[in-house]
């Protein structure tokens, strides 16, 4: 809870001039240039982040949401103050949005801390933006409510329902295989993302929004309302009003995002067959609060909790269908026996209260019952083995059952450029039974751990009709992708991990049941190879600026890829 003696409103966080009363006088004098009255300025101040950007269509509705959130703040007796922070869009971030997530987290944290606000409404939605905001808010630790921007509506083409970006990848694969032509792929580029909002499959953005709701950091139902619906605007107004109440209560992120709340969020991650990326992001958010996410406990949750949500890429439907099936409150009700429903929410109530408000939607088939699951045995599985001493991840629910136990020859790509140059070559020595290996694509190696783990099927195999192969890397993959893909191998090869020791033709064994990924090479041979291993050359430009900070400080996937200096020295491992 907030210290009741701490200064509030305009008096909080004064600029340093050596005279606090002068600092307040100056602040008041300057802000009056905006036309505010003393009455307005004496009310609780609610900061509202503005992450609108012409480069970020996933945040295209942010201006309308801000207007509605401000209305909610005013109706509840507060004073809304909008302020900008960085915005990150997936396809407009070079080299990768993940490289910039920690920069946005630093920006959000410091802007919350630097400016006077009694609570803050965080509005975002694209993959890295909500995680970055939560990381920043966890560290700033003032009363905070999240308002996701919400998912897009589905697209349509030739009688087929389309969703970004699972269908972007599927249709691009068809184009590569010569099954659709240039004219059709051009038409499709206008139909895959038909409205503002976040990707409407259970990709990273939707996964994170659902987990935020399970954490208790947004209003019940707020994860899934489509971005363009009137209900989304009403949720914004309600979030603004809730922020005023939250400011009065003094309830901070550390009171809500407890170890039990993270466990609830990770349980939801398994039950929705969600994005692999979410595990990295929530490890980072928890780390900011001194909480260690135990990968093996997460794996055990997967064995207990069935996948119940029938959404692409694991299933058939899209976020708007999930919403009309009752959304998160209905899912939480279905998995309540796996949850700690006493955890607190930004509403002032508990998770049990959110579940009590769940609608019963007759005939819906999108959120299954535990008796009729989409899959059992875990949406995501954590692997160990001599290739991944600190762990790796596979999205079982989006992988091929026939490849869950597989042994094959390694076909190694030394980085993204090498893969781009050779993957589609007619000379590439590759068969459908081989294991494609991509390295130097991790947090330091790439840099920024791009979503390159979804290694395309080599063109000559794609043209023979091969749809899936075992693919392994130290990269991430989009939450919208599918396939038998082992990701987040830690430590990464550029940090000296054993992935860097694999050679073409080595045998690799994947055994998902045993949770193992192993290189079938003797320890003695690996020791020799380690002596001969040469660390990759530094990235151009890494001697200065943000790139230098990033490569010096970024942690590995199992630690959330946060900056080491942002995490408390000791984490609660209990
Ligand atoms: Fe922004 Fe998918 S690209 S959510």
User: 205 with 270, same domain?
Assistant: yes
Which atom of ligand 1 approaches the CA of 58 most closely? 1
Residue 118 lies in a domain: yes
Is the domain of 130 the same as that of 165? no
Across-strand partners of 413?
438
For the residues 457-480, what does the mean pLDDT come to?
92
Domain assignment present for 22: no
**Do the domain assignments include residue 65?**
yes
Selection from 195, 71, 201, 58 nearest residue 123 by Cα: 58
Interatomic CA distance for residues 127 and 206, integer angstroms: 8
Give the mean model confidence (pLDDT) for residues 434-455.
96
Rounded distance between C-alpha atoms, residue 303 and residue 380, angstroms: 9
Domain end marker among 321, 356, 391 = 356
Q: How many domains does the chain have?
A: 3
Instruction: Catalogue the E-assigned strands of 237-322.
Output: none
Q: State the chain's maximal CA–CA distance in angstroms.
A: 76
Q: Residues with Cβ < 8 Å from 274, sequence gap 6 or more?
A: 202, 206, 207, 210, 211, 268, 379, 380, 479
- Protein residue with least CA distance to atom 1, ligand 1: 126
Rg value, the chain, Cα: 24
Could you identify the atom of ligand 1 that is nearest to the CA of residue 89?
1
Confidence at residue 100, expressed as pLDDT on a 0 to 100 scale:
98
Query: Does 441 lie in the same domain as 483?
Result: yes
Ranked by mean pLDDT, the top range of 298-312, 339-353, 475-489 is 339-353
Nearest CA to ligand 1 atom 3: 90
For the segment 448-471, the average pLDDT, to the nearest whole number, is 93
CA-CA distances (angstroms) from residue 154 to 229, 325, 366? 13, 16, 15
pLDDT score of 377: 78
Mean pLDDT of 226-241: 98
Structure tokens that stand for 539 in this block: 């990235």
Domain that holds residue 413: 380-536
- Cα(205) to centroid(ligand 1), Å: 6
Q: Atom 2 of ligand 1 has which residue's CA nearest to it?
A: 199
Ligand 1 is surrounded, with C-beta below 6 A, by 58, 89-90, 126-127, 198-199, 203, 205
In a domain, 237, yes or no: yes
Cα(116)–Cα(468) distance, integer angstroms = 53
301 and 414 both lie in a single domain:
no
Question: What's the pLDDT score for residue 482?
Answer: 80
pTM, full prediction: 0.96
The confidence band for 375, taking pLDDT boundaries of 50, 70 and 90, is confident
How far is the C-alpha of 471 from the C-alpha of 400, rounded, in Å?
12
**pLDDT in the model for residue 315:** 83
- 16: in domain: no
Ligand 1 center to 200 CA (angstroms): 9
Mean pLDDT of all residues in 419-445: 97
* 249 Cα: distance to centroid of ligand 1 (angstroms): 34
Average pLDDT over residues 220-225: 98
C-beta neighbour count of 56 within 10 angstroms: 23
Check residue 2 and give its pLDDT. 66
Compute, in angstroms, the gap from residue 332 CA to the centroid of ligand 1. 24
Residues 349 and 213 in one domain: yes
Nearest to 257 by CA among 295, 290, 226: 290
Shared-domain flag, residues 201 and 306: yes
CATH number at residue 398: 3.50.30.80
Averaged over 20-30, what is the pLDDT? 96
Measured in angstroms, how far is the CA atom of residue 280 from the centroid of ligand 1? 17
Among 321, 340, 356, which residue terminates a domain? 356
Q: Which of 129, 199, 319 to mutate to test the pocket of ligand 1 (most atoms within 8 A of CB)?
A: 199
Which atom in ligand 1 lies closest to the alpha carbon of residue 203? 2
Integer Cα distance of 146 and 346 in angstroms: 9
Same domain for 279 and 145: yes
Cα 90 to averaged position of ligand 1 atoms, centre (Å): 6
Q: Round to whole Å and give the CA distance between 341 and 207.
A: 20
| 326 and 397 assigned to the same domain | no
Tell me the CA–centroid distance for residue 62 and ligand 1, in Å. Answer: 14
For residue 574, pLDDT beyond 70: no
Which tens digit of pLDDT belongs to each residue from 493-533?
999 999 999 999 999 999 999 999 999 999 999 999 999 99
Residue 372 lies in a domain: no
pLDDT score of 573: 60
Residues 288-309 have a mean pLDDT of 94
Share of the chain above pLDDT 90, in %: 91
- Domain termination site, one of 341, 356, 371: 356
Ligand 1 center from residue 204 Cα (angstroms): 8
Ligand 1 binding pocket mutation candidate from 51, 52, 56, 58 (most atoms within 8 A of CB): 58
Q: Which ligand 1 atom minimizes the distance to the CA of 480?
A: 2
Q: Does residue 64 have a pLDDT over 80?
A: yes
Torsion of Cα atoms, 438 then 443 then 445 then 447, to 10°: 110
Are 130 and 146 in contact by the 8 Å Cβ rule? The answer is: yes
Same domain, 442 and 345: no
Check whether residue 335 and residue 249 sit in a common domain: yes
Nearest to 116 by CA among 8, 237, 247: 8
Ligand 1 midpoint to CA 89 (Å): 7
- Say yes or no: 337 and 399 in one domain: no
Query: Above 90 in pLDDT, residue 165?
Result: no
Q: Phi, psi (5° rounding) for residue 438?
A: -115, 130
Tokens of 236: 């914004």
Please, which pLDDT band fits residue 376 given cuts at 50, 70 and 90? confident
Angstrom distances, CA of residue 132 to CA of 86, 294, 490, 505, 553:
10, 21, 22, 40, 16
Check which CATH number belongs to the domain holding 280 and give it.
Answer: 3.40.50.2300
Q: What is the average pLDDT score of the chain?
A: 95
Average pLDDT over residues 2-16: 87
- Strands of the sheet containing 45-50, edge to edge, are 79-84, 45-50, 119-124, 144-148
Report the Cα 152 to chain-centroid distance in Å: 17
Atom of ligand 1 nearest to the CA of 478: 2
DSSP state, 144? E
**Candidate from 59, 98, 126, 318 with most ligand 1 atoms within 8 A of CB, to mutate:** 126
Average pLDDT over residues 267-288: 95
Instruction: Taking each helix axis as running N to C, give the angle between helix 277-288 and helix 204-215, from 0 to 180 degrees, rounded to the nearest 10.
Output: 40
Q: CB neighbours of 191 closer than 8 A, spacing ≥ 6? A: 155, 156, 157, 162
Residue 23 pLDDT exceeds 90: yes
State the Cα–Cα distance between residues 226 and 321, nearest whole angstrom. 10
Average pLDDT over residues 32-45: 96
One domain for residues 346 and 434 = no
Provide the CB-side half-sphere exposure for 423 (13 A, CA): 22
Is residue 370, in this structure, part of any structural domain at all?
no
Distance 126 CA to ligand 1 centre (A): 5
Quote the Cα angle for 244-249-290, to 5°. 110
Give the ligand 1 atom nearest the CA of 198: 4
Nearest-atom index, ligand 1, CA of 205: 4
Query: Across residues 548-561, what is the average pLDDT?
Result: 97
Task: Find the 522 Cα to ligand 1 centroid distance in Å.
Answer: 43
Of 13-17, 44-48, 395-399, where does mean pLDDT reach its minimum?
395-399
Q: Which of 295, 283, 274, 359 lies closest to 324 in space, CA to CA? A: 359
Residues 6+ away with beta carbon under 8 Å from 537 = none
How many CA atoms does the CB half-sphere of 35 hold within 13 Å? 0
Whether 479 is covered by a domain: the verdict is: yes
CA angle 222, 73, 357 (to 5 degrees): 35
* Other Cβ atoms within 10 Å of 50 Cβ, number: 16
Indicate if the pLDDT at residue 140 is higher than 70: yes
pLDDT at residue 33, rounded to an integer:
97
């Amino acid at each position: 809870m907030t210290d009741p003696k701490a200064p509030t409103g305009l008096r909080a966080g004064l600029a340093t001039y050596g005279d606090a009363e002068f600092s307040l006088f100056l602040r008041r004098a300057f802000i009056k240039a905006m036309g505010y009255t003393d009455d307005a300025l004496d009310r609780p101040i609610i900061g509202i982040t503005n992450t609108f950007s012409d480069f970020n269509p996933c945040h295209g509705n942010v201006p309308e949401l801000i207007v509605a959130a401000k209305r909610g703040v005013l109706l509840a007796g507060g004073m809304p103050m909008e302020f900008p922070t960085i915005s990150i869009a997936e396809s407009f971030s070079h080299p990768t949005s993940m490289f910039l997530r920690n920069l946005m987290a630093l920006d959000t944290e410091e802007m919350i801390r630097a400016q006077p606000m009694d609570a803050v409404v965080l509005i975002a939605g694209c993959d890295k933006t909500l995680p970055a905001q939560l990381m920043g808010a966890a560290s700033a630790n003032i009363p905070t409510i999240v308002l996701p921007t919400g998912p897009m509506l589905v697209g349509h083409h030739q009688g087929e329902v389309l969703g970004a970006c699972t269908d972007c990848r599927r249709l691009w694969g068809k184009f590569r295989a010569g099954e659709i032509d240039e004219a059709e792929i051009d038409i499709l580029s206008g139909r895959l993302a038909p409205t503002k909002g976040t990707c409407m499959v259970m990709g990273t953005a939707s996964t994170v929004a659902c987990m935020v709701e399970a954490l208790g950091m947004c209003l019940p139902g707020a994860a899934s309302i489509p971005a363009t619906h009137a209900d989304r605007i009403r949720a914004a107004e309600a979030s603004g009003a809730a922020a005023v109440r939250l400011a009065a209560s003094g309830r901070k992120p550390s009171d809500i995002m407890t170890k039990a709340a993270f466990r609830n969020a990770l349980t939801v991650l398994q039950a929705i067959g969600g994005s692999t990326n979410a595990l990295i992001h929530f490890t980072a958010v928890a780390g900011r609060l001194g909480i260690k996410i135990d990968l093996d406990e997460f794996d055990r949750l997967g064995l207990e909790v069935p996948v119940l949500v029938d959404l692409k890429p694991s299933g058939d439907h899209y976020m708007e269908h999930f919403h009309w099936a009752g959304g998160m409150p209905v899912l939480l009700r279905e998995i309540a026996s796996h949850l700690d429903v006493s955890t607190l929410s930004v509403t002032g109530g508990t998770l049990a209260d959110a579940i009590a408000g769940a609608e019963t939607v007759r005939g819906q088939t999108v959120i299954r019952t535990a008796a009729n699951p989409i899959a059992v045995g875990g949406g995501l599985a954590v692997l160990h083995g001599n290739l991944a001493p600190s762990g790796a991840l596979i999205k079982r629910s989006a992988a091929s059952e026939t490849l869950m136990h597989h042994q094959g020859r390694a076909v190694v790509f030394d980085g993204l450029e090498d893969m781009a140059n050779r993957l589609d070559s007619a000379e590439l020595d590759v068969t459908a039974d081989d294991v494609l290996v991509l390295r130097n694509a991790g947090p330091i190696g790439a840099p920024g751990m791009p979503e390159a783990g979804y290694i395309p099927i080599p063109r000559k195999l794609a043209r023979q009709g091969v749809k899936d192969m075992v693919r392994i890397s130290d990269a991430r993959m989009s939450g919208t992708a599918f396939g038998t893909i082992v990701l987040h191998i830690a430590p990464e090869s550029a940090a000296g991990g054993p992935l860097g020791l694999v050679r073409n033709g080595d045998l690799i064994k994947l055994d998902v049941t045993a949770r193992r990924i192993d290189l079938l090479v003797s320890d003695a041979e690996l020791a020799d190879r380690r002596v001969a291993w040469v660390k990759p050359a530094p990235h151009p430009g890494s001697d200065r600026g943000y790139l230098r900070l990033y490569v010096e400080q970024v942690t590995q996937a199992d630690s959330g890829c946060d900056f080491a200096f942002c995490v408390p020295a000791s984490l609660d491992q209990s």
